[in-house]
Each structure stands twice: as structure tokens, then as C-alpha cells.
Amino acid sequence: MNLTVVGTGYVGLVTGACFAEMGNKVTCIDIDIEKIENLKKGIIPIYEPGLERMVSKNIDRNTIKFSTELQDGLSSSQIVFIAVGTPMGEDGSADLQYVLSVAREIGQKMSRPMVVVDKSTVPVGTGDKVRDVIDEELKKRGLNLDFHVVSNPEFLKEGAAIDDFMKPDRIVVGADHKEAFQSMRDLYAPFTHNHDRMIEMDVRSAEMTKYVANAMLATKISFMNEVANICELVDADVNQVRIGIGSDTRIGYSFIYPGSGYGGSCFPKDVKALTHIAEENGYRAELISSVEAVNDRQKFVISNKVVDRFGENLHDKTFAVWGLAFKPGTDDMREAPSIYVIQELVKRGARIKAYDPKAMHEAQSFYLKDVENIHYFSSKYETLPDVDAMILLTEWKEFRSPDFEELKMKMKNPIIFDGRNQYSHLRLEQKGFEYYQIGKKSK
């Protein structure tokens, strides 16, 4: 098939590359000229394992191309994906200006029947708005072209997006016409030849499914963090509790690891948006609102532990911070716990020595660019000399089994604050470390 994907951010670029990988001819559109010129050279704007290699390969095969002009894709495409950003407004709502702007341009430039697919995460009812905008523009042109609007939300995990797209556990498609469903079945057939994973529903239900999926996962995280905080108060070990409840197949082990809270581009935004959708319709979503409140509080748990240990005045203290990204496998720092922890310590006078395998450029150029007293290092061990404690905030694999003897030798004090519960409390105490983690009282 010939496809157009509008938007070359995280979702759009992964979508375009994966469809091209299966032999489709894909045109990716973006208004950012510099980004498009870089993409033509195989230079991608994000870190995602395997993505740069896939894009470069399909450029060479001529199955993916990049342009700033929508018409370059529309003229030959049967399906066009809208994958632009839906930034969060001050009230928690999703801003649809970019989605509707693309829809309007589609209506102004389409010259053949096509399927228009909302790939962006959008509020319930957006499909109707996209349809109305396109129809309005076609009427202005005096054209009567058939088109169908489809909701096809993405369920990609940062750090594993290629595998998630190529081997999906489900493909949710919301449409109102059998022709649209058939077009999507044909498009996704190479991804589902072993097992039919396509779930068909109406457009509004598909739009809702994305929000509910992320809110459910966020709920599990916040629930377990709430439990962790209670465990500390009653001198229980949340890590043992997690194993005890996870063995119940109705609960399972996924998303019940205590930590410093969730971050990233999806969970915070989608939880707020779902709360806003409820409020717009006269309903107070108390549980979902609590999920957000617990998460906001959890991001300060580690910094509070540091202050409890060293006091409010940290002017003569230096801390090594291992991990800046909100999760391993990505350079994304949106709503990352590291931002909150570092800001809390620095405002009390602390000096920070930071390392992350992928996110340091993001920190330096944007998220922590105005933070003083922070220095960046090229390896984890370089951060350690003369620090008062090490703080682990992202569970990168290279942090899982460090040389603890080297830590003890280089650090001023053998103290670790573990915001992801990566280490064994007993093991570190036996090695002479003072160890603080989430959900277990320190002795």
C-alpha cells in the first residue's frame, strides 16, 4: 500500500518505519524543515533501539521518504495517518489544534477517496471533529469524495516500540464502515498472520480504549507506591509483599514494582486527560484523580529521604545521580522523577554529579538547563569520587550489578538511595553500605 504519516515524532516515525519495513511505500510529513532534512540522511530525532537502523535501511530500499509537503504523500496514498502531538493544556485537556489543522489540510488537498486514521492519542469524539473538518473543506471545493475516519490508537512502550509494533498483542481499530475495517485489515495483515489480533469497535470506544489502558497501568503503579509507603510505616518489606501478591494470576507481576513514580509522555498526560473528559461530562473521577495525586507525591520520596538523612542544609553535600530518563531504553525525560529529585536537592545547596547512558543531552539542553550546581559525566563510576551518597533513579541494565567495592572505595560515604529498588537490602548492608529504598524502613 501507499501510506502517508503526518508527524515524525515518536509515534509517527515508528509507525512509518514499521509499515515501510513490511514493504509498504510510506511518505512521512513534518513541518520542521531541519528535522526532515536530517531524516532524509537517516538522522533520527529520538533514541529508540533499532529505529535508526530501520529508517536507514528503508531509505535505501526507497520504501520510506520524507517531505514537508502533505501533497507529496496524499497524491498517491490510500491511507493517511495523523500522528501529530496533542499537548496537554493547563486544565489537563488534550490540545487538538495540530490534529485538526492536519485534518483541514487533508480536506483542502485530497483528490481521491481515502481512509484517514487518528494515530495520535485524542479525546473521545475527536473522530467526529476530524470528519466534520475534512467534510467542510471538501464542500468548499465543491467535491464529493468518499473518506472514512478511523481511530487506531498506539500501544508502544518507549524502549521497545519496534517490537511492540512488529509483534503487537492487539491492534485496536475503531471505524463506522466495513470498507474502513477492510482497509485496516489489509494493512495490518503482515503483522497478524500467525494470530488475528485485530479488535474492531466503534470510533469512540477505540479513542476511549487508549486512555483507559494507560490509566489502568498508572493505577497499578500508584497503588503499589501507596502500599510501599504504608509498608515503611509498619516495618514490612514491599518487595516481599510484591512477590506475595504477584503470584496471584488475577494480579500478576507487571506494573507492581514500587519506585519514584511514573513519568514520560503518556501516563501523566493521559491520566489528566481522562480526568478532564470525566469532568466535562459532569462526573468526578475520584480514583483516577487519586492516581495522579499519589504519583505527584511519590516523586519527592527519595529527595525527602535524602533530606531526612543529611538535613535541610545541603550546601556542603555532593550526590551522584545515576539515571535521568524516566525509564530505561529511552532518552525521554518528560515528567521524569530525576527532575524533581535534583531540583529539590539543588535548591537546598547540594551539588549534583549526574550520568545517564542516553538522556544527558536532553537534560543539559532542556529539562535541567537552568539548574545550577549540576555536572555531567561520561560514565557512572566517574560520578563517585568524594560524593556523600549515590542516588539511583533509572533502572538501566548497567546499573543493576555495579562493582560495590569500587563504589565504597570512591565514595566519601558508602550510602545509596535507590529510587527503583534495584538492589538487595541485605546484600548491601553486609557489604557495609547504608541503604535506603522505597517501601522498606532503613535500619
What percent of the chain clears pLDDT 70, i.e. is strictly above it?
100
Question: Is a pLDDT exceeding 80 seen at residue 263?
Answer: yes
pLDDT at 47: 93
Average pLDDT value for residue range 39-52? 95
Residue entry with cell 481521491: 112
Q: Taking all residues of the chain, what is their mean pLDDT, rounded to a whole number?
A: 96
Phi-psi region of 86 (alpha: psi -120 to 50; beta: other; left: phi over 0): beta
Average pLDDT value for residue range 322-327? 98
pLDDT at 89: 81
Residue at 121: amino acid letter: T
- Say which DSSP state 366 is in: I
Note the pLDDT tens digit of each residue in 8-45: 999 999 999 999 999 999 999 999 999 999 999 999 99
- The dihedral over CA atoms of 225, 227, 231, 237, expressed in degrees to the nearest 10, equals -70
Q: Which residues contact 150 (CB under 8 A, 6 or more apart)?
A: 115, 116, 117, 118, 127, 173, 174, 175, 180, 184, 203
Question: Is a pLDDT exceeding 80 seen at residue 194?
Answer: no
Question: Is a pLDDT exceeding 80 seen at residue 432?
Answer: yes
Hey, how many other C-beta atoms are within 10 angstroms of the C-beta on 426?
Answer: 9
Backbone dihedral angles phi then psi of residue 155, each to the nearest 5 degrees: -130, 55
User: Pick the residue with more confidence: 441 or 54?
Assistant: 54
266 is annotated as an active-site residue:
yes
Residue entry with cell 486527560: 273
Annotated catalytic residue: which of 18, 28, 231, 266? 266
Hey, how many other C-beta atoms are within 10 angstroms of the C-beta on 34?
Answer: 9
Note the pLDDT tens digit of each residue in 371-429: 999 999 999 999 999 999 999 999 999 999 999 999 999 999 999 999 999 998 888 98
pLDDT at 443: 66
Of 331, 268, 266, 332, the C-alpha closest to 299 is 268
Alpha helices (H) in 235-285, listed in sequence order: 238-246, 267-280
Q: Is the distance from CB of 50 to CB of 162 less than 8 angstroms? A: yes
